[in-house]
Amino acid sequence: MGKILIGIGVTLVILGLLWQYIGKLPGNFMFKKGNVTFYFPLTLSIIASIVISVIFYIIGRFK
């Protein structure tokens, strides 16, 4: 269990570092009206879902 948590942690750190260089992704929506800003990261949600699914698939293969 410890190795899995370390692997997930390292993956999150790498993704965090990459995120700083990627910046805004196409498909992420931001709406501004007056003092209200609404940000919906659709592309990021899809990419995160795919990455998490792959991680769980790999973990499942080793059990």
pLDDT at 32: 92
pTM above 0.75, yes or no: no
Task: Give the pLDDT of residue 33.
Answer: 92
- Per-residue confidence (pLDDT) for residue 47, from 0 to 100: 83
Query: Which two three-digit tokens encode residue 8?
Result: 């997930």
Q: Could you list the pLDDT tens digit for every one of the 63 residues in the chain?
A: 788 888 888 888 887 787 776 667 777 788 899 999 998 888 878 888 998 898 889 888 877
Q: What is the pLDDT of residue 34?
A: 92
In Å, how far are 16, 29, 37, 47, 49 from 42, measured between CA atoms? 17, 7, 16, 9, 11
